[in-house]
Structure 1
Amino acid sequence: MTSPTAASAPFFVVFNRASGRGDRDALGPAVEAACTAAGRRCELMPVTQSGQLPDVAREAVRRAQAVGGIVVAAGGDGTINCVAQAVLGSGCRFGVLPRGTFNYFSRTHGIPAELDAALQVLLREQAMPVQVGLVNGRVFLVNASLGLYARLLEEREGWKRQFGRSRFIALLAGMRTLLRGHRSLQLDVELQGKTWQARTPTLFVGNNALQMEQVGLPEAQAIDAGCLAGVTLKPVGRWALLALLARGIFGRMGDADEVQSFGFQTLTVKARRFGASRIKVAADGEVLKMALPLRFEVAPEPLLLIRPAGMAPERREVQA
């Protein structure tokens, strides 16, 4: 069977009714209307129960493979991550309709947050290869972390459930976490055949150039060059951490002596605490326990993402 071209391939749209923005009930009709107007077939695949998303994503991939279709994730970075996990390595093209709070993955690739504009990208643009990060085989598109940053994300979700989803709520939650204090991780880090001991509040691994640029870290260039970006902090007190948060807000974190950053393609991390076999890791905002050692790496093959060509306008603005 000859696979359909990008201009005629059907869409299989996975979206999560169990969480996310309040406009999720309007998403389906908007997608159907845009596809009908363009003469394209689409199949909506809603997730209605918590925990159902991975199964629905795998089913979308199966159906897309059978007819040369395109798998589309509609949601925030967590939903997009889960669908990307199913798509990676399948040979399917991947589309995104961003509906989250931060939308870093879509923003770094120039996909607009407005639904109508994102649909036009999906209907008109071509698939291009984009880099994927892996931690112990699990996909991350934006970042993966352990220690303080993972704890911050975990506590932020509790605030969002209680007070709603917004960047202001996320900032308040982060400040509260930093003020409560923290314990440093004691890690053995292996990079390019060399091992060193690191005592740090957090290890952050980025795969999103826009996020790096916005906080003022130079490793955005490493990501553009096909690497991941590692970031550690020297052990500091809570007020110094708040000062670092302020630097990040104003795009000046790279100037801080307490911040160490580096690019890499493969990184192995072990805990020096006796008996530790698992550790909490946050991957694109979802916190889970993973077995040690941790292996961070660039995935051997990319996602084929439907996106506008060239650098995203938001990245050009940050660099200007």
Structure 2
Amino acid sequence: MTPRSAAVLLNCSSRSNRAASQRARLAELLKGSGLAAEILCAERGQHMGELARRAARGPYDMLVAGGGDGTMNTVAAAIVGTEKTMGVLPLGTVNHFAKYLGIPLTLEGAVRTLVEGRRVQIDVGEVNGRVFVNNSTLGIYPTIVRDREALRKRSGMNKWLAFGLATLGGIRRQEPIRLRLVLDEQEIHLNTPFVFVANNDFKLGDLDLARQGPLGSGELGVCVAHAESRLSMVKLLASAVAGRLQKASDFSILRTRELLVEAPQRRLHVAADGEVLKLSPPLRYRTRPSALRVIVPPSSDIRAGSVRREDPPDQRAALGG
């Protein structure tokens, strides 16, 4: 098979020695892989979305996202619904999407997957036209993400320490939001501090909220907290950390194909794959079945509920041979 062309998209704004060394190692691995790849960098002041959209209009067969889940989201949004294929280099902290697909977390293993892997088509989620590959959240979590990033920008604080402090601050300040949910002809009115909408599994980072079986094709998972007091929120958080959240009486787990969220606010903070957006309700969630082509390892045990179609063995994306 003739090697296909790939664009490898990286955020190159970091000038640290570690980042520079990582980019040099990646260039070396790509050169040795036989993959015809060009590294495209989003430099300081350039938005990754702009780079991804430009690459999507280019001659590349594959766009490879190098970064964390926010970068995965951005690249997926640029090529969803097209014939282009997405590759994954997990260079972030949590790497939820890469773990879900079974992508090796080492740079060597991830590059090898680009060459030896197989192509599958997976569902993506969408809220008011904005794509997400992992999940979307309302309530306290977007507040925590915003506060975490503000702390890091202000003080250069470690990401996990900033997350812990932001969580404590969020619990102290977050008030439940009044929502009306409509899903599968069911209507729910509630005051809630937290709504979670899943596209692939019920994990928020490495935290498994539901410990349930895989979502079916074209299906969204919805988790809703009914806790209205701060004490109830703390108890729910403790249950989540202990892995007992799915047994909590004030936590509901639902499945649906579409979700409508109405709220009295003019704008809501909504997180999509960890990126915080300001959206005007009503929020309309839906799935786009088989809308994204991705490369996974030949041995990946990715759950069949989210995979609509695979290339047969003789058409795998063996990019180098």
Distance of aligned partners of 1:51 and 1:245 in 2 relative to their CA distance in 1, 3 Å threshold: farther
| One of 181, 189, 210 as aligned partner of 1:217 | 210
Distance of aligned partners of 1:106 and 1:252 in 2 relative to their CA distance in 1, 3 Å threshold: same
After superposition, residues 127-142 of structure 1 pair within 5 angstroms as 127-142=119-134
Say whether residues 1:310 and 2:295 are aligned partners.
Answer: no
The answer for unaligned runs of 5 or more in structure 2 is 304-321
Q: Separation in 1 of the partners of 2:15 and 2:148?
A: 15
Q: Separation in 1 of the partners of 2:145 and 2:16?
A: 18
Displacement of 1:237 in angstroms is 2.1
TM-score by length of 1: 0.85
Give the counterpart letter for 1:14 in structure 2: L
Displacement of 1:250 in angstroms is 2.2
The answer for unaligned runs of 5 or more in structure 1 is 314-320
User: Do the aligned residues in 1 keep the contact of 2:218 with 2:289 (CA within 8 Å)?
Assistant: no
2:235 matched residue in structure 1: 243
Q: Separation in 1 of the partners of 2:164 and 2:42?
A: 29
Displacement of 1:184 in angstroms is 1.3
Q: Separation in 2 of the partners of 1:165 and 1:22?
A: 17
2:166 matched residue in structure 1: 173
Give the counterpart letter for 2:257 in structure 1: Q
Q: Separation in 2 of the partners of 1:43 and 1:223?
A: 35
Query: Equivalent residue of 1:299, what SS?
Result: strand
User: Do the aligned residues in 1 keep the contact of 2:144 with 2:163 (CA within 8 Å)?
Assistant: no
Displacement of 1:23 in angstroms is 3.5
Higher helix share: 1
Task: Kindly tell me the number of residue pairs found equivalent between the two proteins.
Answer: 300
Question: Which of structures 1 and 2 has the larger relative contact order (alpha carbons within 8 angstroms, sep 6+)?
Answer: 2
Distance of aligned partners of 1:123 and 1:22 in 2 relative to their CA distance in 1, 3 Å threshold: farther
Distance of aligned partners of 1:107 and 1:153 in 2 relative to their CA distance in 1, 3 Å threshold: same
Q: Separation in 2 of the partners of 1:44 and 1:192?
A: 44
Query: Equivalent residue of 2:301, what SS?
Result: coil
User: Do the aligned residues in 2 keep the contact of 1:215 with 1:254 (CA within 8 Å)?
Assistant: no
Residues 257-278 of structure 1 show CA distances to partners (whole Å, capped at 9, x for unaligned) of: 111110111101111x2xx332
After superposition, residues 157-168 of structure 1 pair within 5 angstroms as 157-161=149-153, 162-168=155-161
Residues 165-205 of structure 1 show CA distances to partners (whole Å, capped at 9, x for unaligned) of: 44454234323321x13211111211123333122112211
Displacement of 1:30 in angstroms is 2.2
1:23 matched residue in structure 2: 18
Two-structure CA RMSD over aligned residues (Å):
2.4
Q: Separation in 2 of the partners of 1:19 and 1:268?
A: 39
2:105 matched residue in structure 1: 113
1:193 matched residue in structure 2: 185
Displacement of 1:10 in angstroms is 1.7
Say whether residues 1:55 and 2:44 are aligned partners.
Answer: no
Say whether residues 1:263 and 2:252 are aligned partners.
Answer: no
User: Do the aligned residues in 2 keep the contact of 1:233 with 1:260 (CA within 8 Å)?
Assistant: yes
After superposition, residues 279-298 of structure 1 pair within 5 angstroms as 279-298=268-287
Distance of aligned partners of 1:172 and 1:149 in 2 relative to their CA distance in 1, 3 Å threshold: same
Query: Equivalent residue of 1:310, what SS?
Result: coil
Displacement of 1:138 in angstroms is 0.6
Say whether residues 1:70 and 2:88 are aligned partners.
Answer: no
2:141 matched residue in structure 1: 149
Q: Separation in 1 of the partners of 2:14 and 2:70?
A: 10
User: Do the aligned residues in 1 keep the contact of 2:202 with 2:209 (CA within 8 Å)?
Assistant: no
User: Do the aligned residues in 2 keep the contact of 1:20 with 1:76 (CA within 8 Å)?
Assistant: no
Q: Separation in 2 of the partners of 1:19 and 1:294?
A: 35
Q: Kindly, what percent of the aligned residue pairs are identical?
A: 30
Displacement of 1:159 in angstroms is 2.9
